[in-house]
Amino acid sequence: MKYEEKNQQIAYLGPEASFTYLATKSLFPDDSLLPCATIPECIEAVSDGKVNFAVVPLENTIEGTVPMTIDYLYHEAELFIAADCLSKIKQHLMVHKSQKDNWQNIEEIYSHPHALAQCHKFLHQRFGSVPLVRYSSTSAAAKLVSETPERCIAAIGNSSSAEKYGLEIVQKNIHDFQFNHTRFLVLSKNNMRLPIENSEGNAKTTLMITLPVNVSGALHQVLSVLAWRKLDLSKIESRPLKTGLGEYFFIMDVHADENDAMMKGAMEELAALGCNVKSLGTYYTYLTQE
């Protein structure tokens, strides 16, 4: 297995054969996997101690961040990132086998909102007048199609979901850009890092930072704290604080260990500047096998 501990309980955004399931299975092939209907349900499962870890999507190269994941980690949960996982995403159009000769007359197309957006050009050109229905996950959409043989409806998802639910893939690789990857987080109640195989690169730390109120140049000061220490910032993004217009927190990925002297100094200086700094921990990136 990829992670040396055994008999773990792992929550993931399901049902089985979702992209999150495939990422989870690659990390924890011998453990017990618990499918959850929503991202909050996954996060709450590990927060409440029902499972050891939860695996949830964070961002996609085409559609960007999954806001639900970031917002829930900031506002609702006290969790840490134990690892992250990069998976190549291939989206296919699939129908019930009884409708395989009638697929060009599709009435509705179901999938996760990010999957629908990843295939925007194809859907606009081929099915511009067909309603697109948002669903909780790609595999849940595939399951729905499998249970509705009398209707000519379609799902967008991976080949595993087509196999799992007995669907016919009628158009392959319909995503708009070929470099389509999704980043998944492994969440834990404990500040730990998974010693997993096939990890890539150095340690990475994710910070959530709230700036002091009404301080001119506050973001510049934050970036300067990292810059003069030569800390490599690979991601920065703002999200609403939900307290008023124009009020945000920032999520940052720094290629450094939170226990390094420079990182400790940076976090101390940020606190001295009046910033609220929350570390989600230091972890390594795992690359799934295609």
Q: Are 87 and 286 in contact (CB under 8 A)?
A: no
pLDDT in tens, 217-238: 889 999 999 999 999 999 999 9
Q: What is the pLDDT of residue 82?
A: 95
Q: What is the mean pLDDT of residues 141-167?
A: 95
Q: Are 156 and 23 in contact (CB under 8 A)?
A: no
User: Residues, the chain, total?
Assistant: 290
Q: What is the DSSP letter of 129?
A: T
Phi and psi of 219, rounded to 5°?
-65, -40
Mean pLDDT across the chain, nearest whole number?
Answer: 91
pLDDT > 70: percent of the chain: 95
If DSSP codes are grouped into helix, strand and coil, which group holds residue 126? helix
Q: Are 39 and 158 in contact (CB under 8 A)?
A: no
Q: What is the mean pLDDT of residues 29-44?
A: 93
Q: What is the DSSP letter of 127?
A: S
36 Ramachandran zone, left/alpha/beta (phi>0; psi -120 to 50): beta
Q: What is the mean pLDDT of residues 47-67?
A: 92
Give yes or no for residue 1 having a pLDDT over 50: no
Q: What is the pLDDT of residue 142?
A: 95
Q: What is the pLDDT of residue 170?
A: 95
